[in-house]
């Protein structure tokens, strides 16, 4: 009666099918249990409480404080509206902090990503013993901020440091690494890049090794140079990851505090006085809580914008 096991079945139009099964899927996660609501509050309660007290409330409170003048213990005195913001955004001092921070953030991001790409591209080759190099390149991931600061403070130390020894040995001019404004900025940038490098390398390597090898095989058959392959196959293939690490690096750099506190304390002459360090100084040294709150809000806006950008791009990627 039946001819062969191959099945022939009419198909509903694809679009209709798709939407239906999607709804089906969403619905299927749920059961009849009406008590879900109570479980939900029990399961979410602790996290909500913590986020409420330590993330949401302080954000509102910071916004509130930023609209007042405060006394030295942080109590509000006079409502001043936006004038904290206006005075900040018209103060050369603050604008220079903002400029310094932007320079630092973009320098760190560009250098970290470029070096990360170089290391990852080299380490993505299938060579015997490459695993050892991969491990070595990712080593700086295990370095915490204070350890990095100690290592590099010694390297940059003006009298006994490693770089000064090298300069003496090679009869090169001494660079006053931590006392010259420009050099101090670069010292902090170099240290940050070094700290970030392990993580960035590892993520980029992961992306590169998952690019299908057939793409490179096809390119090799066409005789494309390795340089051409890097820019026309590798980079486009890993672009989502590249974007992701760039934004993460950017955001983390905006929040830099530890290295600055450990290496330069914002100096010399405010050359490395970046946004978070400033907030800390203004609030906990000068007791100017209102102004520090306004600075916090500005920082939040900057970071929120970059985070939103990240979400938007990731969302796009999820959909396609």
Partner 1 sequence: MDIVTKPKLSRRILDYTLLTVLALIVLAPFLIGLWTSFLPTMQIAQGNFLSTKVSFQNYIDAFTQTPIIRYLGNSLVISTATMIAQLIFCSMSAYAFVFLKFKGRKLLFTLFLATMMLPFEAEIIPNFQTVKAMGLLNTYSVMVIPFLTSAFGVFMLRQSFMQMPIELKEAADIEGLGHFQFYWKMVLPYNRIPLMTLGAYSFLGAWNQYLWPMLTTFSNDFRPVQNGLRQLQSEETFNDWGMIQATAAIVVIPTLIVLFIGQHYFKSGVNEGAVK
Partner 2 sequence: MSITLRNVRKDYDAQTEVLKDISVKVETGEFFVIVGPSGCGKSTLLRMIAGLTPITAGEVSIDNTVVNDLPPKARKLTMVFQNYALFPFMNVWDNVAFGLKARKMDQADIKQRVDEALKMVNLTELAKRKPRELSGGQRQRVALARAVASDAKICLMDEPLSNLDAQLRIKMRQEIYALQRKLGLTLIYVTHDQVEAMTMADHIMVLNDQHVQQIGTPSEIYQNPANEFVAKFFGTPQINILNATRSKTDNHVLDVDSDLEIALDEEVPAENVKIGIRPDDMKVEATESVEANATIKNTGFLGDETIIYATLNSGEDIHVVVPGQVNYRIFQPIKVTADSNLMFFDKDGKRMNLSKEAYVHA
Chosen from partner 1, partner 2, none, partner binding at 10 (C-beta under 5 to 8 Å by type): partner 2
Q: Does 78 sit near partner 1 (CB under 8 A)? A: no
Where would I find the beta strands (DSSP E) of the chain? 68-70, 76-79
Q: How far is the CB of 7 from partner 2 (least distance, A)?
A: 5
188 vs 197: CA distance, rounded Å: 14
295 vs 303: CA distance, rounded Å: 12
CB of 17 or CB of 225, closer to partner 2: 17
What tokens were used for 273? 């006085």
What tokens were used for 280? 């800390």
DSSP string, 214-229: HHHHHHHHHT--HHHH
CB of 1 or CB of 92, closer to partner 2: 1
Contact letters (x/-) for partner 1, 162-181, by CB under 8 A?
A: x--x--x-------------
Chosen from partner 2, partner 1, none, partner binding at 108 (C-beta under 5 to 8 Å by type): none
What is the widest separation between alpha-carbon atoms in the chain?
97
Q: How far is the CB of 221 from partner 1 (least distance, A)?
A: 15
Q: Which has the closest alpha carbon to 73: 302, 288, 280, 221?
A: 288
Stretch that binds partner 1, among 6-14, 105-113, 217-225, 249-257 (CB under 8 A): 249-257
41 vs 65: CA distance, rounded Å: 31
Q: Does 224 sit near partner 1 (CB under 8 A)? A: no
Interface with partner 2 in residues 32-61 (CB under 8 A): 32-33
Query: Which residues of this protein are in contact with partner 2, per CB under 8 A?
Result: 1-12, 16-17, 20-21, 23-24, 27-28, 31-33
């Amino acid at each position: 009666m039946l001819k062969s096991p191959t099945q022939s079945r009419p198909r509903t139009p694809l679009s209709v099918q798709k939407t239906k099964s999607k709804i089906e899927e969403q619905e299927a996660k749920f059961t009849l249990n009406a008590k879900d609501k109570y479980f939900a509050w029990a399961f979410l309660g602790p996290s909500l409480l913590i986020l409420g007290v330590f993330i949401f409330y302080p954000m509102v409170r910071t916004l509130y404080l930023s609209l007042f003048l405060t006394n030295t213990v942080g109590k509000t005195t006079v409502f001043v509206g936006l004038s904290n913001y206006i005075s900040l955004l018209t103060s050369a001092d603050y604008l220079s902090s903002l400029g310094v921070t932007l320079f630092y953030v973009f320098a760190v991001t560009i250098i970290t990503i470029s070096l990360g790409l170089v290391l990852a591209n080299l380490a993505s080759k299938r060579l015997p013993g490459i695993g050892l190099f991969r491990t070595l390149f990712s080593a700086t991931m295990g370095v915490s901020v204070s350890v990095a600061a100690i290592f590099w403070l010694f390297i940059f130390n003006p009298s006994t440091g490693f770089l000064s020894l090298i300069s003496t040995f090679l009869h090169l001019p001494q660079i006053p690494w931590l006392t010259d404004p420009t050099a101090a900025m670069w010292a902090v940038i170099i240290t940050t890049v070094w700290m970030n490098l392990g993580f960035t390398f590892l993520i980029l390597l992961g992306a590169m090794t998952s690019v299908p090898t057939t793409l490179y095989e096809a390119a090799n058959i066409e005789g494309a140079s390795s340089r051409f392959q890097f820019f026309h196959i590798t980079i486009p293939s890993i672009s989502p990851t590249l974007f992701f690490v760039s934004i993460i690096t950017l955001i983390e750099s905006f929040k830099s505090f530890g290295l600055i506190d450990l290496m330069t304390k914002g100096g010399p002459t405010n050359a490395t006085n970046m946004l978070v360090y400033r907030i800390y100084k203004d609030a906990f040294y000068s007791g100017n809580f209102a102004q520090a709150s306004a600075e916090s809000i500005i920082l939040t806006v900057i970071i929120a914008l970059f985070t939103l950008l990240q979400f938007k791009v990731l969302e796009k990627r999820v959909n396609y």
